[in-house]
Amino acid sequence: MSYTMPEFLAHAIAMEREAAERYLELADMMEAHNNLEVAALFRDMVRYSNLHGDSIVERAAGLELPTLKSWQYRWVAPTEVGDEDAFDYTMTPWQALEYARENEGRAMNFYRTVSETSTDPTIKPLAMEFATEEADHMMALDKMISQTQRP
Protein backbone atom coordinates (compact mmCIF):
# COMPACT_ATOMS: atom_id res chain seq x y z
CA MET A 1 0.00 0.00 0.00
CA SER A 2 2.37 2.66 -1.19
CA TYR A 3 0.60 5.74 -2.46
CA THR A 4 1.70 8.67 -4.48
CA MET A 5 0.67 12.00 -3.00
CA PRO A 6 -2.23 12.44 -5.49
CA GLU A 7 -3.54 8.94 -4.69
CA PHE A 8 -3.30 9.56 -0.98
CA LEU A 9 -5.05 12.93 -1.17
CA ALA A 10 -7.80 11.53 -3.42
CA HIS A 11 -8.55 8.86 -0.80
CA ALA A 12 -8.48 11.36 2.03
CA ILE A 13 -10.86 13.75 0.24
CA ALA A 14 -13.26 10.96 -0.67
CA MET A 15 -13.22 9.68 2.90
CA GLU A 16 -13.97 13.11 4.36
CA ARG A 17 -16.83 13.68 1.88
CA GLU A 18 -18.32 10.28 2.62
CA ALA A 19 -18.03 10.89 6.36
CA ALA A 20 -19.76 14.27 6.03
CA GLU A 21 -22.65 12.68 4.12
CA ARG A 22 -23.08 9.85 6.60
CA TYR A 23 -22.87 12.18 9.61
CA LEU A 24 -25.56 14.35 8.05
CA GLU A 25 -27.84 11.32 7.68
CA LEU A 26 -27.14 10.28 11.25
CA ALA A 27 -27.80 13.80 12.55
CA ASP A 28 -31.16 13.91 10.74
CA MET A 29 -32.04 10.52 12.13
CA MET A 30 -31.16 11.49 15.68
CA GLU A 31 -33.36 14.56 15.36
CA ALA A 32 -36.17 12.26 14.30
CA HIS A 33 -35.44 10.33 17.52
CA ASN A 34 -35.57 13.68 19.30
CA ASN A 35 -32.07 13.13 20.66
CA LEU A 36 -30.74 16.62 20.10
CA GLU A 37 -27.50 16.08 21.97
CA VAL A 38 -26.35 13.24 19.73
CA ALA A 39 -27.70 15.12 16.70
CA ALA A 40 -25.54 18.12 17.65
CA LEU A 41 -22.44 15.92 17.93
CA PHE A 42 -23.07 14.52 14.45
CA ARG A 43 -23.62 18.03 13.06
CA ASP A 44 -20.27 19.07 14.55
CA MET A 45 -18.70 16.10 12.81
CA VAL A 46 -20.30 17.08 9.50
CA ARG A 47 -18.63 20.47 9.91
CA TYR A 48 -15.22 19.03 10.83
CA SER A 49 -15.35 16.59 7.93
CA ASN A 50 -16.23 19.35 5.48
CA LEU A 51 -13.53 21.67 6.82
CA HIS A 52 -10.94 18.92 6.72
CA GLY A 53 -12.06 17.89 3.22
CA ASP A 54 -11.82 21.50 2.03
CA SER A 55 -8.32 21.91 3.48
CA ILE A 56 -7.17 18.75 1.67
CA VAL A 57 -8.70 20.02 -1.57
CA GLU A 58 -6.67 23.22 -1.11
CA ARG A 59 -3.52 21.26 -0.51
CA ALA A 60 -4.23 19.24 -3.66
CA ALA A 61 -4.50 22.37 -5.81
CA GLY A 62 -2.55 21.88 -9.02
CA LEU A 63 -2.30 18.11 -8.64
CA GLU A 64 -4.24 15.80 -10.89
CA LEU A 65 -6.08 13.39 -8.62
CA PRO A 66 -7.08 9.87 -9.71
CA THR A 67 -10.76 8.89 -9.80
CA LEU A 68 -11.62 6.36 -7.14
CA LYS A 69 -14.25 3.65 -7.23
CA SER A 70 -17.02 4.02 -4.67
CA TRP A 71 -16.10 0.89 -2.74
CA GLN A 72 -12.57 2.17 -2.18
CA TYR A 73 -13.73 4.61 0.47
CA ARG A 74 -17.22 3.66 1.55
CA TRP A 75 -18.42 3.39 5.06
CA VAL A 76 -19.42 -0.14 5.95
CA ALA A 77 -23.07 -0.84 6.73
CA PRO A 78 -24.12 -0.75 10.38
CA THR A 79 -23.22 -4.11 11.91
CA GLU A 80 -26.68 -4.39 13.41
CA VAL A 81 -28.19 -4.39 9.94
CA GLY A 82 -28.51 -7.87 8.47
CA ASP A 83 -29.08 -8.57 4.81
CA GLU A 84 -32.74 -9.31 5.18
CA ASP A 85 -33.83 -6.47 7.40
CA ALA A 86 -31.44 -3.86 6.05
CA PHE A 87 -34.38 -2.11 4.55
CA ASP A 88 -36.61 -1.04 7.35
CA TYR A 89 -34.06 -0.45 10.01
CA THR A 90 -34.24 2.39 12.48
CA MET A 91 -31.12 3.12 14.45
CA THR A 92 -31.07 4.05 18.07
CA PRO A 93 -28.62 6.78 19.21
CA TRP A 94 -26.34 4.16 20.72
CA GLN A 95 -26.24 2.19 17.46
CA ALA A 96 -25.64 5.33 15.43
CA LEU A 97 -22.70 6.27 17.65
CA GLU A 98 -21.24 2.77 17.45
CA TYR A 99 -21.65 2.80 13.70
CA ALA A 100 -19.83 6.12 13.41
CA ARG A 101 -17.12 4.90 15.76
CA GLU A 102 -16.51 1.79 13.68
CA ASN A 103 -16.07 3.85 10.55
CA GLU A 104 -13.82 6.39 12.24
CA GLY A 105 -11.74 3.45 13.42
CA ARG A 106 -11.42 2.19 9.86
CA ALA A 107 -10.34 5.64 8.70
CA MET A 108 -7.81 5.93 11.53
CA ASN A 109 -6.35 2.51 10.70
CA PHE A 110 -6.15 3.47 7.06
CA TYR A 111 -4.19 6.65 7.78
CA ARG A 112 -1.97 4.95 10.32
CA THR A 113 -1.12 2.12 7.93
CA VAL A 114 -0.32 4.60 5.18
CA SER A 115 1.91 6.54 7.55
CA GLU A 116 3.72 3.41 8.68
CA THR A 117 4.23 1.92 5.25
CA SER A 118 4.81 4.99 3.12
CA THR A 119 8.32 5.64 1.91
CA ASP A 120 7.45 9.20 0.87
CA PRO A 121 8.74 11.65 3.51
CA THR A 122 5.95 14.13 2.71
CA ILE A 123 3.14 11.55 3.01
CA LYS A 124 4.31 9.95 6.27
CA PRO A 125 3.74 12.95 8.61
CA LEU A 126 0.59 14.02 6.78
CA ALA A 127 -1.02 10.59 7.17
CA MET A 128 -0.06 10.58 10.84
CA GLU A 129 -1.67 14.01 11.29
CA PHE A 130 -4.88 12.70 9.70
CA ALA A 131 -4.78 9.57 11.89
CA THR A 132 -4.56 11.79 14.97
CA GLU A 133 -7.62 13.75 13.86
CA GLU A 134 -9.60 10.53 13.47
CA ALA A 135 -8.45 9.43 16.91
CA ASP A 136 -9.84 12.70 18.31
CA HIS A 137 -13.18 11.97 16.62
CA MET A 138 -13.20 8.49 18.11
CA MET A 139 -12.62 9.92 21.58
CA ALA A 140 -15.52 12.35 21.17
CA LEU A 141 -17.73 9.44 20.06
CA ASP A 142 -16.54 7.27 22.95
CA LYS A 143 -17.41 10.00 25.42
CA MET A 144 -20.91 10.30 24.00
CA ILE A 145 -21.33 6.52 23.87
CA SER A 146 -20.51 6.29 27.58
CA GLN A 147 -23.36 8.76 28.27
CA THR A 148 -25.87 7.02 26.00
CA GLN A 149 -28.24 4.27 26.99
CA ARG A 150 -27.49 0.96 25.36
CA PRO A 151 -30.57 -0.54 23.71
Binding site for a copy of itself (CB under 8 A): 1, 3, 7, 11, 21-22, 25, 29, 69-78, 81, 83-89, 106, 109-110, 113
Whether the CB-CB separation of 79 and 89 falls below 8 Å is answered with no
DSSP string, 26-57: HHHHHHHTT-HHHHHHHHHHHHHHHHHHHHHH
**Shortest distance, position 145 Cβ to a copy of itself, whole Å:** 19
Residue 54 CA: distances (Å) to CA of 2, 20, 35, 57: 24, 11, 29, 5
The nearer residue to a copy of itself, 25 or 147, going by C-beta atoms, is 25
The nearer residue to a copy of itself, 28 or 142, going by C-beta atoms, is 28
**Shortest distance, position 34 Cβ to a copy of itself, whole Å:** 17
The nearer residue to a copy of itself, 110 or 130, going by C-beta atoms, is 110
